[in-house]
């Protein structure tokens, strides 16, 4: 930052390629999560000599991020425990909850916007929450010390249907629909039922872009086949 407040050009320290498709993204996130969790459990930076206190905190913060998958999983499962078992994880007045939760979530979202220079999008939030299952898988492999090969991120787009990678998310949506049906039949549209439905719908809405991305490859392949077979479609195709 210059003295006049204008941003100074930053020297590029490293360059890399972002994943071109969902499968490559999945493999990349798993590799990062596995490596970070391996660092956290096997080579905990808090106990490593030669690091400053600030370095230890930074290493710990970056590697422990991938434990967030557990938090996402627990929060997503809370409505299901109520739908199927009438278990209330929290008993609190609606207004009190709103007074506590709304400022908290506002501060979190505003902080994300500040740290991303106001470029943080709902799609980014979707991929952050949707990747929880990847982080949990990486955590499990780390705990059981399962060896995983190093998968290099593909430099070209991998076409195809990657729906199998979002089976847990589709299963969650199915369980929510089943649970809501069961819960409404049991007790009707009570205040607790409505609040848990709203909570589950937030997670479903967050998972939808993540799920959609898994099927983008198959949609693009189908579109390409239709364009190739129909000369009229090919003739009027406009590049974007």
Show me where the domains of the chain are located: 22-146+158-224
77-104 mean pLDDT: 86
Phi–psi pair at 77, nearest 5 degrees: -85, -15
Question: Whole-model pTM?
Answer: 0.80
Look at phi and psi of residue 219 and say left if phi exceeds 0, alpha if psi is from -120 to 50, else beta: alpha
Phi–psi pair at 50, nearest 5 degrees: 90, -5
64-76 mean pLDDT: 95
Per-residue model confidence (pLDDT) at position 236:
39
Is the pLDDT reported for residue 175 higher than 90?
A: yes
Instruction: Report the length, in residues, of the chain.
Output: 240
Between the CA of residue 150 and those of 28, 41, 110, 154, what are the distances in Å? 10, 19, 36, 12
pLDDT tens profile 20-36: 899 999 999 999 999 99
Per-residue model confidence (pLDDT) at position 104:
86
Confidence at 237, pLDDT banded by 50, 70, 90: very low
Tokens 């872009």 label which residue?
A: 209
Q: Please name which of 13, 6, 68 lies closest in space to residue 36, comparing C-alpha atoms.
A: 68
Residues 27, 149 contacting (CB under 8 angstroms): no
Helices 22-42 and 191-214, axial angle in degrees (round to 10): 110
Per-residue model confidence (pLDDT) at position 18:
76
d(CA 84, CA 187): 11
pLDDT tens profile 183-215: 999 999 998 899 899 999 999 999 999 999 999
d(CA 88, CA 68): 23
């Amino acid at each position: 930052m210059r003295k006049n407040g204008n941003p100074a050009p930053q020297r590029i320290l490293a360059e890399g390629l972002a994943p071109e498709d969902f499968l490559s993204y999945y493999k990349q996130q798993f590799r990062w999560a596995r490596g970070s969790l391996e660092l956290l459990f096997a080579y905990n930076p808090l106990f490593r000599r030669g690091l400053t206190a600030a370095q230890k905190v930074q290493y710990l913060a970056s590697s422990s991020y991938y434990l967030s998958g557990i938090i996402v999983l627990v929060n997503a499962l809370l409505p299901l425990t109520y739908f199927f078992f009438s278990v209330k994880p929290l008993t609190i007045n609606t207004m009190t909850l709103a007074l506590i939760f709304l400022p908290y979530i506002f501060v979190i979202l505003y902080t994300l916007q500040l740290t991303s220079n106001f470029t943080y999008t709902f799609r980014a939030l979707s991929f952050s929450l949707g990747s929880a299952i990847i982080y949990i898988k990486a955590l499990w492999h780390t705990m059981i010390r399962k060896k995983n090969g190093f998968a290099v991120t593909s430099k070209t787009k991998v076409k195809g249907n990657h729906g199998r990678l979002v089976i847990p998310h589709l299963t969650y949506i199915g369980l929510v629909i089943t649970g809501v049906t069961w819960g409404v039949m049991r007790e009707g549209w009570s205040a607790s039922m409505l609040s848990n439905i709203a909570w589950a719908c937030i997670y479903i809405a967050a998972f939808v872009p993540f799920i959609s991305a898994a099927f983008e490859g198959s949609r693009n392949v189908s579109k390409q086949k239709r364009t190739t077979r129909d000369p009229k479609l090919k003739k009027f195709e406009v590049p974007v």
